[in-house]
Amino acid sequence: MSDQREQTAAESGLTSYLRTGPGVVFNLYAIFAAFTTYFCMYAFRKPFAAASYEGSKFFDTEIDAKTAFVIAQIIGYTISKFAGMKICSETGREGRGGLLVKLILAAWGSLVLFAVLPQDLKVVAIFANGLPLGMIWGTVVLYLEGRKTSELLLAGLSCSYIIASGVVKDVGRVLMGDYGVPEYWMPAATGGLFFLPFLFAVWLLGQLPGPTAADIKERSARTEMYSDDRWAFCRQFSFGLVLLSGMYFFLTAYRDYRDNYGVEILAELGMADMEGVFSKTEIPIAFLVVGVLALLSLVRSNRLGLKIAFSVMAGGQLLMGLAMWMLNAGYIDGLMWYALVGLGAYLAYVPFGCVLFDRLLAYTRFAGTAVFAIYLTDAIGYTGSVALQLFRDLIFADSSRLEFFTNLTYAMSLGGAASLIAAMFYFLKQSPAEQPAA
């Protein structure tokens, strides 16, 4: 008790209140701070996708300039994920805020270079843009994992990028269309609008207290993971990680393809000029996904929570195929289809970055941080995204964006669901955690 009083005395007034005040206040505060931080990050990552860069090719090849930009950023982002397996999993509480600010400044500087460099060198700038941004997610997750309400908090965080991806692209389109900002300056201008809110949100995150004793008892202690710890995790769960990583390889590619080429896909469906189309589809998706995942925080049994998480993800994969069939059969229009495949993809995709591995560590009582497993699968997933971009442009160049996306949807729906079900049975056979009393 005396240790707790000393700890509280050393904290700021806001941190002390969040530690001892009503749980609902803590949850709302944590969600707002994490959501805002990552939402603002997207203003430095995704606005460039709102422009088409029509007529530009990569070094006079058959590869579109936009495809080259997308691939370059993903390569940088992928390298960042590999680096994040070490950097984020080893980062302690004191270094998180400074790391976040340094990462976003590096990303913003690269967007300025994207605007001023010659055409053939812009791809270098957008590659550099991806290098720091990939580590922001894991750094924010460190503030939220290992708590009794982690699913709720992480679902709120996940809501940020589902909404932000559409909103920042709409902001970029407004800057170009209404204010005449050139398409190559638009990404840096969009980022500038969100820089100060980002700094404020990082400060808010820094006021969060650590997990309580009750959190640790129910969800296990979360500690830094060094090299030996990371190898031990991979050895213990090797087969399950192979199943999940293989599935995520394709799922990330699918999600990124929809996200990066949504403008072109919707144009083929006759909705190119619909105002705010991305916000109209992505905001409802975000609330539905967050609502489903937040309900997991009500499940105290870690075994049951793991089952539900896998079931939701597999159901999302099947929804993608069903929506594709309904569009082709004429039962739904293009806007509803785009929303449904997005919902299905995000129901499977979002848990990878938050609740799945948080609940897995709680179930197995493995000492470490969920951030390592998140970054391991992320690194593999974004490698798949790069491969898919090249595969489409080099092998299926004659196929339209929509035609290629249609075939990809059917393949992902069936293969993804099967992989997730197999992974669920594997992990449920692992040593169970001590379950809290009902």
pLDDT at 91: 80
Is 321 or 262 the better-scoring residue by pLDDT? 321
The answer to whether the CB of 68 falls within 8 A of the CB of 124 is no
pLDDT tens for residues 167-212?
A: 888 898 899 988 989 988 999 999 999 999 999 999 999 999 988 8
| Phi, psi dihedral angles at 434 (to 5 degrees) | -70, 125
**Both tokens assigned to 269:** 């469906």
Query: Highest mean pLDDT: which of 34-43, 64-73, 365-374, 390-399?
Result: 34-43
| Residue reference for tokens 């990462």 | 103
DSSP category for residue 431:
P
pLDDT at 8: 47
What 3-state class would DSSP assign to 91? coil
pTM over 0.85: no
pLDDT tens for residues 12-44?
A: 789 999 988 898 999 999 999 999 999 999 999
Q: What is the dihedral of CA 1, 21, 141, 430, to 10 degrees?
A: 60
pLDDT bin (cut points 50, 70, 90) of residue 435 is very low
Mean pLDDT of 368-395: 80
Instruction: Quote the CA–CA distance of 373 and 80 in Å, as a whole number.
Output: 14
Mean pLDDT of 45-60: 75
Cα–Cα distances (Å) from 176 to 43, 186, 351, in that order, read 15, 7, 34
For the cut 60, the answer to whether the pLDDT of residue 10 exceeds it is no
Instruction: Quote the CA–CA distance of 86 and 138 in Å, as a whole number.
Output: 11
Is 239 or 385 the better-scoring residue by pLDDT? 239
For the cut 50, the answer to whether the pLDDT of residue 234 exceeds it is yes
Instruction: Quote the CA–CA distance of 218 and 375 in Å, as a whole number.
Output: 24
pLDDT bin (cut points 50, 70, 90) of residue 372 is confident
Give the architecture (CATH level 2) of 16-428.
Up-down Bundle (1.20)
Task: Choose among 311, 332, 310, 312: nearest CA to 323.
Answer: 332
Which DSSP string do the residues of 72-117 spell out, in sequence order? Answer: HHHHHHHHHHHHHHHHHHH--GGGHHHHHHHHHHHHHHHHHHHHHS
Residue ranges per structural domain of the chain = 16-428
For the cut 80, the answer to whether the pLDDT of residue 119 exceeds it is yes
pLDDT at 297: 79
For the cut 50, the answer to whether the pLDDT of residue 229 exceeds it is yes
For the cut 50, the answer to whether the pLDDT of residue 399 exceeds it is yes
pLDDT tens for residues 235-272?
A: 889 899 999 999 999 898 888 888 777 778 878 887 76
Averaged pLDDT of the chain: 85
pLDDT tens for residues 76-116?
A: 988 998 898 888 888 877 889 999 999 999 999 999 999 99
DSSP category for residue 57:
B
pLDDT bin (cut points 50, 70, 90) of residue 58 is low
